[in-house]
Amino acid sequence: MDQAANLRRLVLETDKKTKKTKTIAITSGKGGVGKTSVAVSLSIAIASNGSTVTLLDADLGLANINVILGIIPKYNLYHVIKGKKKLKDIVITVPEGIKIIAGASGFHQLANLDPKQRSTFIESVAELDSDDFMIIDTGAGVSQNVLSFVISADEVIVITTPEPTAITDAYGIIKSIAAQAPDKIIKIIVNRVQSVAEGKRVAQRIINIAGQFLNIKVENLGFIFDDIYVPKSVRNQKPFFVSYPKSKASACISIISDRICNKETNTAKGSGLSSFFKGLFKSAEHEENEGRDEEE
Ligand SMILES: Nc1ncnc2c1ncn2[C@@H]1O[C@H](COP(=O)(O)OP(=O)(O)OP(=O)(O)O)[C@@H](O)[C@H]1O
Ligand SMILES: [Mg+2]
């Protein structure tokens, strides 16, 4: 191999080693506002923009991502944590061009791992660190389980609809995040809007209240139209961005995906998967100790 080719290979390898995955948690205050639908189609849109994406199903109670994509994962993170499977054995690559990791319903068990099990797990997670993004679909509400995922991620997207109850609950979750992680980058998506003006109005309201009462900056990531093709695609078990690419909802997803991938406005690197899971372990441990304190 000539010298130039050798150097090129070295630079590419180093680049790969120093690149860190950006972790983005998708959450909401109120349930049923469209987190899973958005997480799946947005992941696919980001992948079609040329980035590599893993979608982690952290909604520990339900298996929604599987349903939307029509897949049945046999193993989940719990099997990796327990050392029964390697991470690469549980990652499912779907035809839509993204990778899926099924979450572990035994999240509380994370706190019970010994240091060796933890480091084995963190090491195996680092295998995935060559991806550009990890999108994490969480459950709704302010349970510590959900907050752990949110706080460990680099960024959080809070989804709301224009319904007053959803807006109030979105403010509630933003308040909880700000209390535990005041520097977290929080962005909002207003889903199921009837007009562009409604999307802007709802976002501005949340941004104003968060600024005024919590003194934190929330960013408007965009809106998604209320669109009959979204529930239709759920019934067909094929994500709307794939089955109805010309729908209004897909057009909105494209815009949001472009904003997320835009290198100019998004220059900060992610802190990587090892850092994300270390944070998760820490908060699981914290929760475990608090539980113990309460029992005592
Ligand atoms: N933009 C939209 N237009 C029309 N319907 C939508 C839209 N987004 C979501 N929905 C519908 O709302 C319902 C709930 O969506 P989804 O399961 O994605 O919400 P979720 O926030 O993940 O719920 P959960 O809190 O239970 O996890 C689904 O039936 C979906 O089809
Ligand atoms: Mg969901």
144-173 mean pLDDT:
92
The pTM assigned to this predicted structure is 0.86
Tens of pLDDT, residue by residue over 238-280, are 999 999 999 999 999 999 999 999 854 545 567 788 788 878 7
Contact 90, 100 (CB under 8 A): no
Is pLDDT at 194 greater than 90 in this prediction?
yes
Q: How far apart are the CA of 103 and the centre of ligand 2, in A?
A: 13
Nearest alpha carbon, ligand 1 atom 28: 231
Task: Identify which of 273, 277, 287 has the alpha carbon closest to the alpha carbon of residue 112.
Answer: 287
Q: What is the CATH number of domain 21-295?
A: 3.40.50.300
Is pLDDT at 106 greater than 70 in this prediction?
no
Contact 212, 204 (CB under 8 A): no
β-strand pairing of 99-102 with 22-28 = unpaired
Is pLDDT at 284 greater than 60 in this prediction?
yes
Q: What is the pLDDT of residue 80?
A: 80
Is pLDDT at 285 greater than 90 in this prediction?
no
CA-based diameter of the chain, in Å?
68
Query: What are phi and psi for residue 243, nearest 5 degrees?
Result: -80, -30
Ligand closest to Cα of 159 equals: 1
The angle subtended at Cα 73 by Cα 67 and Cα 78, nearest 5°, is 120
- Calculate the dihedral angle through the C-alpha atoms of 226, 199, 266, 269, rounding to the nearest 10 degrees: -60
Q: What is the pLDDT of residue 275?
A: 81
Q: Which of 26, 37, 202, 223 to mutate to test the pocket of ligand 1 (most atoms within 8 A of CB)?
A: 37
The whole-angstrom separation of Cα 197 and Cα 194 is 8
Q: What is the pLDDT of residue 196?
A: 97
**How many CA within 13 A on the CB side of residue 171?**
20
**How many CA within 13 A on the CB side of residue 177?**
33
- Between 207 and 149, the more confident residue is 207
Q: What is the pLDDT of residue 176?
A: 95
26-39 mean pLDDT:
95
Q: What is the pLDDT of residue 229?
A: 98
Question: Ligand 1: residues whose CB is within 6 Å?
Answer: 28, 31-37, 59, 64, 140, 191-192, 224, 226-227, 230-231, 234, 249
The whole-angstrom separation of Cα 155 and Cα 185 is 5
Q: How far apart are the CA of 231 and the centre of ligand 1, in A?
A: 7
Q: What is the pLDDT of residue 109?
A: 60
The proportion of the chain whose per-residue pLDDT surpasses 90, expressed as a percent, equals 53
Q: Which of 230, 236, 238, 250 to mutate to test the pocket of ligand 1 (most atoms within 8 A of CB)?
A: 230
Nearest alpha carbon, ligand 1 atom 18: 34
Is pLDDT at 296 greater than 50 in this prediction?
no
The closest-lying atom of ligand 1 relative to the alpha carbon of residue 249 is: 1
Is pLDDT at 230 greater than 60 in this prediction?
yes
For 82-112, b/e burial (b = at least 16 CB within 10 A) is: eeebebeebbbebebebbbbbbbeebeebbe
Q: How far apart are the CA of 63 and the centre of ligand 2, in A?
A: 8
Sheet arrangement for strand 99-102: 92-93, 99-102, 53-57, 133-140, 22-28, 155-160, 185-193, 218-225
Tens of pLDDT, residue by residue over 176-192, are 999 999 999 999 999 99
Work out the mean pLDDT of the chain and round it to a whole number.
84
Reading the block at residue 292, the tokens are 């113990």
β-strand pairing of 218-225 with 133-140 = unpaired
The closest-lying atom of ligand 1 relative to the alpha carbon of residue 62 is: 27
Nearest alpha carbon, ligand 1 atom 9: 34
Nearest alpha carbon, ligand 1 atom 6: 230
Look up residue 224 and give its DSSP letter. Answer: E
